[in-house]
Amino acid sequence: MLPTFTLRYARLPARFHERFDPVPVASPRLVAFNRPLAEELGFDLDAYDETLATQVFSGNRVPDGAEPLAMAYAGHQFGNFVPRLGDGRAVLLGEVTDRQGRLRDIQLKGGGRTPFSRGGDGRAPLGPVLREYLVSEAMHAMGIPTTRALAAVTTGERVVRRIPEPGAILTRVAASHIRVGTFQYFAGRGDVDGLRELADHVIERHYPQLQPELADSEHLGRPEGERYLALLEAVQARQAALIARWMGVGFIHGVMNTDNMSVSGETIDFGPCAFMEAYDPRTVFSSIDEGGRYAYGNQPGIGQWNLARLAETLLPLIDEDQEQAIAKATKVIETYPGRFEAEKLAVMRAKLGLTGEEEGDGELIDALLETMRAGRADFTLTFRQLGDVAASVDAEPALYELFERSEPIQAWLARWRERLTREAAGPDEIARRMRAVNPKYIPRNHRVQEALTAADDGDFRPFETLREVLAKPFEDQPGREEYALPAAPSEQVFRTFCGT
């Protein structure tokens, strides 16, 4: 049933990880299994055995060919550097080559106390496991690079956070689990050889175009340091694009520490994450982000800050002369704001049905966002409704209802309609394009919480229904319109919690 494991990360030197078998659990039960993802990964679903799957996804059985381990890494947490973090409750089983030839990590999250647990229990509550399952799969359905959820298992045990909760384990799939904090782990120890081996591993796995044997003639013969500088540029490009796409769907990661930033360019570690409803760039949902460091509007700047920390780790590889290395790395980091703004502008143009580029587009977008902020309009529904307005003026009254006052949005609509006259497509085609990029369904906080609360009581039907809805975010789903609506005042969820 299981695909063949490879052990690329396990074959790196011993200081990169700690060998660790998952700790068995009392009474595992498979409560979610992602069959389409399993097929993509190369599972033989004709030979699917739920008993075996439950044993493997709970950590009670180590699959043949796997050599489980906990990865070492460090990280800045809310701006404070911690030199030794590592997988405190996650266990990497190994990698598999999927049906498209891509190498993918398979990891158990909640697999028990590892050498990096620092006094923690190494377990995960059911709520955060199901939240990550729902949100990561929703992000994938919206086309945003992300880790994926393969399975969720309840353990038959209780874990204690604020209160005793049912325990669970998430099987997570990623392009890799290498983070900015992984580089910081070796830099913090002055381990330049470890840094070089890690960087070479990342280049081979995620940026093969930077390998010397694949470099084009323009890059042949250049100093080795330029390859590592190019790695910094490549990671920066993916991160700028990723955060721009987060912003385009109102996503708030909630805890953008350097140990939660993947160098592959995927969204990783869905802890106290949430989707904004009423538009406000100051929005924060994380219970641990008391100062708003990771508020929605701060995410682009934090992305640059995290990349600067990555740049610091690469300095010894970029140039032996530290001053020269700093100058080169700084030049790259200084290009981030322009790169991000270009990515964001592309995302927002698409959301407004614009394919052409005009100088005033940025100001038009900013004006809409300010109108939404002042009118406390729902972010997701505003853009979705604009798609209907693009097709027919008859849809305008429904859009006005999203705003506390209709006059400002009416004035903005006149500007937008004038801009659309210079698009080559007609109204129906513009509306079709907009509906393809503006989701109708997102993991709204109150719906997620409703599913988690029911699951804690043993009822997984709300979870399954929500999972089905979120798998088709851009489609109208008759009979499920209520899942597109923002929370009523009595349903609002203002705080989300990490599962550690």
Active site members: 259
Residues in the chain: 500
Paired strand residues for 165: 159
- Phi, then psi, of 82 in degrees rounded to 5: -120, 115
Burial zone of 47 (CB within 10 Å; 0-12 exposed, 13-18 middle, 19+ buried): exposed
Q: Which residues does 39 contact at the CB level (< 8 Å), separation at least 6?
A: 45, 99
From the list 175, 219, 217, 183, the residue with the least C-alpha distance to 200 is: 183
HSE toward the beta carbon, residue 181, CA cutoff 13 A: 25
Whole-angstrom Cα distance, residue 75 to residue 86? 9
Whole-angstrom Cα distance, residue 494 to residue 449? 11
> How crowded is residue 120: how many other Cβ atoms within 10 Å of its Cβ?
12
Two tokens, residue 139: 């992000």
Residue 321, sorted as left (phi over 0), alpha (psi -120 to 50) or beta, turns out to be: beta
Strand 103-109 and strand 90-97: the pairing is antiparallel
Dihedral, CA of residue 470, residue 110, residue 270 and residue 440, to nearest 10? 10
| Residue at 101: amino acid letter | G
How many Å is the Cα radius of gyration of the chain?
23
Whole-angstrom Cα distance, residue 500 to residue 127? 11
User: How many helices and strands, by DSSP H and E, does the chain display?
Assistant: 16, 12
Whole-angstrom Cα distance, residue 276 to residue 180? 26
Alpha helices (H) in 67-179, listed in sequence order: 126-141
Whole-angstrom Cα distance, residue 49 to residue 242? 37
Two tokens, residue 216: 């084009």
Alpha helices (H) in 376-470, listed in sequence order: 379-391, 396-400, 407-420, 427-437, 445-456, 461-470
From the list 70, 320, 308, the residue with the least C-alpha distance to 192 is: 320
Alpha helices (H) in 319-393, listed in sequence order: 322-333, 336-351, 361-375, 379-391
